[in-house]
Chains A and B, each alone.
Chain A
């Protein structure tokens, strides 16, 4: 019995992990479920299109972000060029802009008669009226320029961590900087580069807003349509399981490529990298190369949105807008608090007994690789069943129905957010807790503190920075989230992201700009913190 109490935090951690894993397990049951007529129809007509489109988006977004992210990271880590200090953190800013906002902006700017089309026509003395942004090419463009910072951040970190000695050895061996880049830096940084590309692929697969707006038929869009347009949970579930298989395949590829290449620096060889000063011309070229993704991914869309917002400022109904901001912020705040509480308990449970709690925690953190639409379907099924059960009991005993108290309220939505975003808060909490020496826990224990007291008086206090950052990251991700919110939102609930998407679908881009700017401004806060760490 005492062993149970001794490990009570670990068991609590397992229970919370299991709650989060449950929707994923439910989705897996669709593997064994034979399909209905709608599913047969979908399979015969659109399934191949979903697969091909999703695959093309994945491959080209991965290649594009890999090139831009790696090249810019190499330049800022290895060389000194004009404005490098600013470019280094400006390169992260596209993360503040939701991918779908980029799609709205560029579909307008590259439209017939759009600002960029006119500008390009003027520069090249020819009429640029053939750019069809509402296509898979538009999607690839959007994903590359909104998601490359994932690769940039990880590649930059990997290049910084590489010992200067390796570079010096390569230089002494007569290699040029270009050769060093692909013969030394790339192979050594491969695990981080693959990690960055993985994140890009996950985000691409999880996207709903871009695909919906640009009219690209992808799995996530298919899941949404199967549930909303066809009202068929079986087909939504079947599509979800295919998407999960797709994701498992990507994770396996990553594991395969990573293989045994867990590169570690030989401590004896560690030496800081030395920056190489570029001459003026090449320095300006490096600046231009690094500035292009910032201009396309952040400056142009941000300025355009501000311009649209100024033009439409009079259309705003202040009362409705503040209602929208309030409900979005409340939803994001509640979701982030729930996520951080789950994360703290799960990670602390692992800290008290790694052996029993760690495997479950690892499974719970898989949720981030699961698209919002899939998480929504996984949450919907057990909660709908519970709703029906509650109603049938209440009808038989009290002759009254409570209605959809779980699926018709914030509960289902918050549960889906928890499944989807828990990994983010867990990462943040874990990375701060891991820095706290275990001996502090032991000291507190021999001084008479219970595990709860150690958590509140020691770990949570010392790891407060990580906890706050985790809270903030989930907050902004919930603020941007579209598919799960669209599927699970209770009647009457609107968020900034949904409102912006609805306006954009109705071609009211000016009206969409104001909620989008509100999202972007909030997203800039964690990026500001991140940029301070970079600087």
Chain B
């Protein structure tokens, strides 16, 4: 069982004035955590700080049982971390076996270790090949074997599947995560692809503007997000702004309690799951469809509200489209509507 990674009160200021502020994070052994966020949110910088490519202004980082930044300082080369990069970064002048064995001493255990690692990633017989003669997916698996050869306490994945073909990237990614899970290496993966995060991670952490705004297992993050940004990032949504009146939001879909006596603006974010069709439900309400756009799994519907001068659009699942068009009725489920006060 590998040790975990712990980050306490980490702060770091970038050259452009942005910063990571008082970030706390703990990754348990055998856990794959994905840090999700837009460009400039600080997710790659966080990996670089853990790796030691950059030094934080404040805070503490513990890899395994060793404090690597804080009261002690351990340079990158002694931090017992493994890392995979987007550009794969296999040494072009070295064969597959020398790439994997880069950190190994050339003794009688050298070749058996390499063969064992190649077997683990399903690329036996690739020892003497060079990176130029193998596919991107194979290269990334060899990069994984190279990182595992060092027996790291924690594995950092910096958007490692970004350069792979979209047709095969999820299969390769799943294989790689399987190997990491099997080797019980705690893993932090950085991504801006929510689909990838949902498929691969045990836990997702959403970063925005240098801080963690949300975290949880994929299901929780999808069904009960704590921040409007993470709600929109993690899955399809429709979003509106309404002002409350006496603690109630009056929306075209029904009233929603907001538990405040002040009349303030709220952002209402609705997932497509909120809209269903039920022939006999009394809670169904009539809609006047102005137009709709088929998007595959989802359909965007535009309905007129009030006296017909205004319209509002929202997403529904396409499998109920025909019934909704025919009966011009829809059922609204508040569980899939998330309300956030606008600050």
Contacts and interface: CB of A to CB of B under 8 A. Distances in A.
B89 interface: yes
Contacts of A458: 91
Contact of A448 (B73, B103, B156): B103
A446 B89 contact: no
B77 A449 contact: yes
A462 B93 contact: yes
7 contacts: A442-B89, A445-B52, A446-B81, A446-B150, A446-B152, A449-B103, A462-B93
A3 B55 contact: yes
Interface residues of B, number: 28
Contacts of A447: 77, 102-103, 146-147, 149-150
Contacts of A3: 55
B89 A443 contact: yes
A461 interface: yes
Nearest to B15: A355
Given A446-B82, A448-B103, A439 B89 contact: yes
Contact of A446 (B51, B55, B92): B51
Contacts of B78: 448
Contacts of B82: 446
B53 interface: yes
Interface of A: 2-3, 5-6, 437, 439-440, 442-450, 457-458, 461-462
A448 B150 contact: yes
B87 interface: yes
A445 B87 CA distance: 16
Given A447-B149, A458-B91, A462-B92, 11 more contacts: A6-B55, A6-B75, A442-B83, A443-B89, A445-B53, A446-B77, A446-B83, A447-B77, A447-B102, A447-B147, A448-B150
Nearest 4 interchain pairs by C-beta: A439-B89, A447-B103, A2-B73, A439-B85
A439 B146 CA distance: 14
B43 interface: no
B79 interface: yes
A491 to B, nearest CB: 46
A444 B77 CA distance: 8
Contacts of A443: 83, 85, 89, 91, 143, 146
B36 to A, nearest CB: 22
Contacts, number: 63
B319 to A, nearest CB: 41
A2 B75 contact: yes
Nearest to B81: A446
B156 to A, nearest CB: 8
Contacts of A442: 51, 53, 83, 85, 89
Q: Most chain-B Cβ atoms within 10 A of its Cβ — which of A3, A437, A447, A450?
A: A447
B4 to A, nearest CB: 18
B223 interface: no
A443 B149 CA distance: 13
B304 interface: no
A14 B102 CA distance: 30
A461 B85 CA distance: 21
Contacts of A448: 77-78, 103, 150
Given A437-B87, A439-B87, A446 B79 contact: yes
A439 B159 CA distance: 13
Nearest to A458: B91
Contacts of B91: 440, 443-444, 458, 462
Q: In terms of DSSP, what is the predominant structure of the interface of chain A?
A: helix
B76 interface: yes
Interface string B76-116: 11110111010101011100000000110000000000000
A449 B102 CA distance: 9
Contacts of A2: 73, 75
Contacts of B73: 2
A445 B89 contact: no
Interface of B: 51-53, 55, 73, 75-79, 81-83, 85, 87, 89, 91-93, 102-103, 143, 146-147, 149-150, 152, 156
A60 to B, nearest CB: 47
Q: Most chain-A Cβ atoms within 10 A of its Cβ — which of B87, B93, B146, B152?
A: B93
Contacts of B77: 445-450
A437 B91 CA distance: 10
Nearest to A443: B89
A446 B73 CA distance: 15
A461 B89 contact: no
A458 B78 CA distance: 18
B54 to A, nearest CB: 10
Contacts of A449: 77, 102-103
A437 B102 CA distance: 17
A462 B87 CA distance: 17
Contacts of A450: 77
Contacts of A5: 75
Contacts of B102: 444, 447, 449, 457
Nearest to B94: A461
A46 B81 CA distance: 69
A2 B294 CA distance: 59
Nearest to B72: A2
Contacts of B93: 461-462
Q: Most chain-B Cβ atoms within 10 A of its Cβ — which of A5, A6, A442, A449?
A: A442
A5 B52 CA distance: 13
A200 B31 CA distance: 63
B158 to A, nearest CB: 9
Nearest to A439: B89
Nearest to B89: A439
A353 to B, nearest CB: 11
A3 B73 CA distance: 10
A463 to B, nearest CB: 10
A440 B103 contact: no
B76 A445 contact: yes
B59 to A, nearest CB: 16
A417 B265 CA distance: 73
Contacts of B55: 3, 6
Nearest to A442: B53
A447 B99 CA distance: 11
Contacts of B103: 447-449
Contacts of B149: 447
A437 B156 CA distance: 18
A449 B53 CA distance: 13
Contacts of B147: 446-447
Nearest to A461: B93
A2 B92 CA distance: 31
Q: Most chain-B Cβ atoms within 10 A of its Cβ — which of A2, A6, A448, A461?
A: A448
Nearest to A457: B102
Contacts of A437: 87, 89
Q: Most chain-B Cβ atoms within 10 A of its Cβ — which of A437, A439, A445, A446?
A: A446
A5 B74 CA distance: 11
A107 to B, nearest CB: 50
B89 A440 contact: yes
Nearest to B79: A446
